[in-house]
Structure 1
Amino acid sequence: MIGKQWRIRGRCFVLPRDLDRSDGIAEETKRWLTGKLMKDGGGGNGEGFDFTREYQAHFGNLSPVLRGSFRNPLPGAPKELGNGGLTPRSPIGDDELNQEVALSNFRVVVIEPTRVEFLDLEVPSKTIWVPIGGEAEKTENLEKFGKVEGDWRAVEVWP
């Protein structure tokens, strides 16, 4: 994959750890997630979806070393300040997935893409994908170009 780049533009949402709580912001976020991401064969309407379990699953899917990096001292802090009682470079095994310090620094991020680009410098070629009827398709006048692939328009452009 040398000389190849993927670029994604869109809105980014950092999910709170406690998304299963029942307040207005959490409920609004869950409605957005279930409406946008779980429609059209993507998992139903979200009824009965366990956000806490999913959050923990994302953390658990990381390697033990990467999980452990979330309990390292603050990046960029002078070493002379010490490690604040943290255990840098210490992996978190599968039996320690509830490690509070690491979980407090871990977040799940959802990106709602509005444009995806693939640049291949070896060929050279570049393809962009924009949602059908989306803002990018209109502002870039792409309605008449490329081909439709599901809900997306793929357009070959000059690199």
Structure 2
Amino acid sequence: MGSWKNPPPGTPKNGQKPDKDHQLGQKIEDLHDPIARENFRVVIIRPEEVEQLDISDPATAKRWNYTFVVEKGQGEEGKGEWKCEELWP
């Protein structure tokens, strides 16, 4: 798949062709491809709180709040568990 070597998303197609390194559908053959590496990012998301809402049936709507509680002595990003509390929708 060559999506890491495509032209930048949202770039206007105003008659200018992308350079030879940024074309649609290019194959990436090498794990260390410099163009693909330049456009690849890893993002780690560590939520602290999540809400869930079920309004599929308004007569029985439900809502929950999940909060991640870290175990004592584990630091800010340590081990813990999710606590769930049901809320009024």
The reply on whether 1:155 has 2:85 as its aligned counterpart is yes
Alignment of 1:136-151 (within 5 A): 151=81
* Gaps in structure 2 of 5+ consecutive residues: 71-79
Q: Which has the larger radius of gyration?
A: 2
Unmatched 5+ stretches in structure 1: 1-63, 134-149
Q: How far apart are 1:91 and its partner, in Å?
A: 4.4
Say yes or no: does 1:126 pair with 2:63. yes
Aligned twin of 1:87: 23
Residue 101 (1) aligns with residue 35 (2)? yes
In the TM superposition, residue 106 of structure 1 has moved relative to its aligned partner by 0.8
Flag the structure with more relative contact order, 1 or 2, with Cα contacts below 8 A and sequence separation at least 6: 1
Give SS of 2:46's match: strand
Show the 5 A alignment for 1:1-150.
64=1, 68-79=2-13, 80-85=15-20, 86-92=22-28, 95-123=29-57, 124-132=61-69
- TM-score normalized by the length of structure 1: 0.40
- Superposition deviation, residue 82 in structure 1: 1.3
TM-score when scaled to structure 2?
Answer: 0.65
State the secondary structure of the residue aligned to 1:119.
Answer: strand
Percent identity over paired residues: 36
Q: Which amino acid aligns with 1:155?
A: E
Query: Residue type of the partner of 2:25?
Result: R
Q: Deviations over 1:128-159 (max 9, x none)?
A: 211227xxxxxxxxxxxxxxxx6221111233
Q: Which has the higher helix share?
A: 1
1:107-142 CA-to-partner distances (Å, cap 9, x unmatched) read 111112111122223253222211227xxxxxxxxx
The amino acid that maps onto 1:105 is N
Q: Tell me the C-alpha RMSD between the 2 structures.
A: 2.2
Q: How many residues align?
A: 75
